[in-house]
Structure 1
Amino acid sequence: MKKLIALSIIAFISLYACKKETKTEPQNVEVQPDIPPVSPEMMENAVIYEANIRQYSPEGTFDAFTKDIPVLKELGVKIIWLMPINPISEIKRKATDGSFTSEIEDEAERKKYLGSYYSVSDYKAINPEFGTKEDFDELVSEAHKNGIYVIVDWVPNHTGWDHPWITEHPDYYTQNEKGEIIDPINPDTGESWGWTDTADLNYDNMEMRKEMIADLKYWVENHNIDGFRMDVAHKVPVDFFETVTTELKKIKPVFMLAEAEQPDLLINAFDMQYGWHVHHIFNEIAKGKATVKTFDEYMVQNENTLQDDDINMNFVTNHDENSWNGTLKERMPNNKEIFTALTYTMPGMPLIYSGQEYDLDHRLKFFEKDSIPKTRGAYFELLKKLGALKNSNPALNGGKNKASYKRLDSSENVLLFEREKDGSSLVFVGNFSNQPEQVHVSVTGEYTDYLNETKTKFPDTAITLQPWEFRIYTK
């Protein structure tokens, strides 16, 4: 017996020594990232894609979306923005008509309402609708393999009513005079915004801020994401976001998008803001309630208010616009192409929303399961060509070292501008009216009509544009 014990001890020591030996690793080995770090150069010619995982496919899963990432690469996408990936609160979960699902007696009817993505119950967990954290990691990995960065939609202004902080740290929330946690309030009216499925966070509480930052860092450190889109960023203190970005950049470079149009957010906290103002101008011009002059005034205003390295996100649709304000078919029934082309050619970064590439013509349900079409058509091909041009032509650089923008001539109906950088020149000309327009393009030299692949010599050639027709000329 003693002999057996001795042999066992020797075997154990030998095994331990082997294990210890196999753990020896070379020192100072740097782990290579699976994609180059976020950089200003990447932002110059990127297209951003908003992914609505629930509605992107019949399955509504990460895995189903991951399969199509190579398709997004075809469209010139360099950044994927995932709508919130966190679990959705059960308490005060909303139905489509605005009521709470708890008021619905029929269980089958109640279950079809999945709630708002923006009513988060746990910042560090995954919505089980979409899959697992492993599935999420595969999505990020596949995106990186295709040269695409991934940012996650974050909801910093409020949480759902069954977030652990509600019971563990009620002081993290805004409370009324009775000490009751309240939903977000419109400061202009003193009344609720109507986001009754959420509880308003109190940014006077420094401990809450620390926990929020820790949760944000978790996704960068453990799941290799490349930044965040911050929901209702204009309702959260600027200094909080400045601290967030500073802390995240200690881990790695990140890309930060603010759901706001607020220049002070771009100084030290965010790379890009929403182009809400110009989006509304697009809608007004499309309906004949505004002219190109309004767009010109907007561009002058931006020149006076934004810094050279500020980036605008330009869009014709997104999840809010599609679900609540109308499809492109409703808002731009005969002219979505010209406005889409403008989002790619004006300074800034163009956005594609899930389904837009397939010419989605219905409003996606917000609180229920829905799905988008997957049939490629002429609009898909237009986005593909515009994406290739955006990715490759320095004259469309729209980031922190953007190409120049020069308005050529002046007209109520015709928008004509030139952009230049590093010896490349691009001219956009568009007829934003219901009447044909003859245009004299005031540049000199031989240009290529990018979409038609024909040569044109200016200023000798006058062109006639049909209603809502546009041309993009490159040199």
Structure 2
Amino acid sequence: MQGSRYPALYQLNTRVFLTALSQSLGRAATLDDIADAELDRLSGMGFDWLWLLSVWQTGEAAQRISRSNPAWRREFEHTLPDLREEDIAGSGFAIKDYRVHRDLGGDAALARLRSRMRQRGLRLMLDFVPNHMALDHPWTDERPDCFVHASEADLARAPQNHCRLNTKNGPLLLAHGRDPYFDGWPDTLQLDYGNAHLQASMLAELERIAGQCDGVRCDMAMLIVPEVFERTWGIRAEAFWPRAIDTVRRSQSDFLFMAEIYWDMEWTLQQQGFDYAYDKRLYDRLHEQRARPVREHLCADMGYQDKLARFLENHDEPRAAAAFAPGVHPAAAVLTYLSPGLRFFHQGQFEGRRIRISPHLVRGPDEAVDGALERFYGHLLDVLRLPALRDGRWSLRDCLPAWDGNPSSDNFIAFDWEGADGERVLVAVNYAPQPSQCFVRLPFPQLAGSVLRLSDLLGTAVYDRPGDDLLSRGLFLDLPPWGHHAFDLQRIA
């Protein structure tokens, strides 16, 4: 299935979506109940990918921990003041079996949904969690060598990172899955990538997943990179990703791998075969609300930028409407989604939801829709459907001082897209809390002797400018705090 160079992805919180659907249907909903009209809506909005979060089978052990962990429970009660026990199903990342959860309709329901998606040009992405498994995964009985074992001294020194587990073969001391900078996840067990048999088993799981979807989002992908794994566990491991990705691609050449990645390891994972890596650095710089670091980030090589997944929120991050002030949010969205790379949106983002929903929960709170934000995102998605922004050529543009002694040009970030048919869109953002002015350099020789019409695709502004003036001085912009334009450039004379 051939897609665009710069695709758009929509992340659906599957269990939360189906809980809401169950309430409206008056019965338990499964993947079969995701209506064709909903798939038509997503396809019509310009999405190429649908990521179904948390479809795999979870178990009772993780659910018990989710329901009894005091810190987690306080978070859940903050999210849902009317919290009920059945709202806490256990983390979708504490996986007991890579088969579709029986409550969601099982593997057969997923296959039917995927078929309906394909009829609409939508590709399916699912989760792959390479670092850990649920406490009650069958391998604890059948293959205990797959996990990182611990000693009594380890348990005494860091009880939050280890557990005693009763299995069919007797009690074991095992390590919880973890990020080296934080305490372990108490509903998981750490997989041992120093074990060649474990690597082969995880590759087999990945191949089976790949037979059910078109791509995977790989949770905390950097944790099993050999140098990270050895630093965390003191265990030497062979590289997993290059071999795994190559193996899957031998049978499915266009299968897509997206890495959740931090610690500036994006390039490392791209070099190991990933199509896309999370661009957390851009997100952080936008959150700092300073233009220059954002602009410097966008100066990176295109081979790197083209393989970044750009987002303003996901299930791990705060909601964008809560993290970014109302004036800042649209400006940050313009810079995130009109830049090159994979455009990654999250369920509830368009409506301005403000409360993050933990992946342990299967119900979300009722929230009012932010109509202004919803309209903004509608316009933004219209822009993203333009051929120039899906398959065109992107260039960062210089912003020069409007007059001597005015440093506010440093607050601007400007770039343009050129389509195969000459279509051109110019994007400019004043990413600052004060009014700013600049001249945007437009080195387009074809402007000579012309008159150019600039129509803002995100607003109502329309300007006619002599091409010779634009060539000699550039486009003058005077924008309010967080002001932005996405100009369609048309030669009218």
> Which bracket does the TM-score occupy, shorter chain normalised?
0.7 to 0.9
1:308-387 pair list within 5 angstroms: 310-322=306-318, 326-371=319-364, 377-387=371-381
| CA distance in structure 2 between the aligned counterparts of 1:332 and 1:198, rounded to whole angstroms | 36
Instruction: String of CA shifts for 1:46-105, please: whole Å, max 9, x gaps.
Output: 111111111225137424444412121222110112213111132143336734999xxx
Does 1:90 pair with 2:76?
Answer: no
Counterpart residue type for residue 218 of structure 2: M
Cα gap change, 1:412/1:333 in structure 2, threshold over 3 Å: closer, same or farther?
Answer: same
Which residue number in structure 1 is paired with residue 164 of structure 2?
A: none
- AA matched with 1:293: R
Deviation at 1:345, TM superposition (A): 1.3
> What is the SS of the residue equivalent to 2:61?
coil
The one of 373, 396, 414 equivalent to 1:405 is 396
Cα distance change, pair 66–244 in 1 and its aligned pair in 2 (3 A): farther
Distance change in 2, residues 1:109/1:314 (3 Å): closer
**Contact residue 227 and residue 255 of structure 1 kept, 8 A:** yes
Q: Secondary structure at the match of 2:96?
A: coil
Q: Which residue of 2 aligns with 1:52?
A: 13
2: CA distance, partners of 1:242 / 1:293: 35
CA apart distance, 1:384: 3.4
| Pairing partner for 2:31 from 20, 43, 62 | 62
Cα separation, 1, equivalents of 2:381 and 2:317: 22
User: 1:467 — aligned with what?
Assistant: 481
Corresponding residue number in structure 2 for 1:205: 195
**1:436/1:309 CA distance change after superposition, 3 Å:** closer
Judging changes above 3 Å, is the alpha-carbon distance between structure 1 residues 327 and 133 closer, same or farther for their aligned structure 2 residues? same
- What is the one-letter code of the residue matched to 2:255? V
Per the alignment, residue 392 of structure 1 pairs with 386
TM-score when normalising by structure 2? 0.76
Secondary structure, counterpart of 1:122 in structure 2: strand
Contact 1:414/1:430 (8 A) holds in 2 = yes
Structure 2: distance between partners of 1:363 and 1:100: 16
SS at match of 1:80: strand
**In 2 relative to 1, CA 122–89 (structure 1 residues): closer, same or farther, beyond 3 Å?**
same
1:230 partner letter: C
Please identify the structure whose Cα radius of gyration is greater.
Answer: 1
Name the CA distance, whole Å, in 1 between partners of 2:32 and 2:436: 49
The separation in 2 between residues aligned to 1:413 and 1:375, in whole angstroms, is 31
Q: Does 1:242 align with 2:252?
A: no
Question: Quick one: which amino acid aligns to residue 244 of structure 1?
Answer: A
Tell me, yes or no, if the aligned pair for 1:95 and 1:115 is still in contact at 8 Å.
yes
Q: Which residue of structure 2 lines up, in the alignment, with residue 157 of structure 1?
A: 131
Q: Which amino acid aligns with 1:232?
A: M
Using the TM superposition, give the Cα deviation of residue 226 of structure 1 relative to its aligned residue in structure 2, in angstroms.
0.5
How far off its partner does 1:249 sit? 1.4
- SS of equivalent residue, structure 1 residue 250: helix
One-letter amino acid of the structure 1 residue matched with residue 249 of structure 2:
K
Q: 1:110 to 1:385 in 2, by over 3 A?
A: closer
Structure 1 residue identity aligned to 2:210: V
* Partner AA of 1:200 in structure 2: Q
Residue 385 of structure 1, CA deviation: 3.1
Deviation per CA, 1:365-416, whole angstroms, max 9, x where unpaired?
Answer: 4422323769684433433332333233325548xxx533334337332222
With over 3 angstroms needed to count, the CA separation of the structure-2 counterparts of 1:330 and 1:263, relative to structure 1, is: closer
Q: Is the 8 A contact 1:50 1:351 kept in 2?
A: yes
- RMSD (Å), alpha carbons: 2.9
Matches within 5 A, 1:24-35: none
Residue matched to 1:297: 296
Q: Distance in 2 between matches of 1:200 and 1:48?
A: 30
Assess, with a 3 A threshold, how the Cα gap between structure 1 residues 330 and 297 changes in structure 2: closer, same or farther.
Answer: closer
Letter in 2 for 1:118: F
Q: Which has the higher contact order (CA 8 A, sep 6+)?
A: 1
CA–CA distance in structure 2, aligned partners of residues 455 and 109 of structure 1: 53
Relative to its length, the structure with more strand (as a share) is 2
**CA distance in structure 1 between the partners assigned to 2:385 and 2:14 by the alignment:** 25
Offset, 1:152: 0.6
Name the count of aligned residue pairs. 411
After TM superposition, give the deviation of residue 268 of structure 1 in Å.
4.0
Question: Structure 2: 5+ residue runs without aligned partners?
Answer: 23-28, 74-82, 153-171, 227-238, 402-408
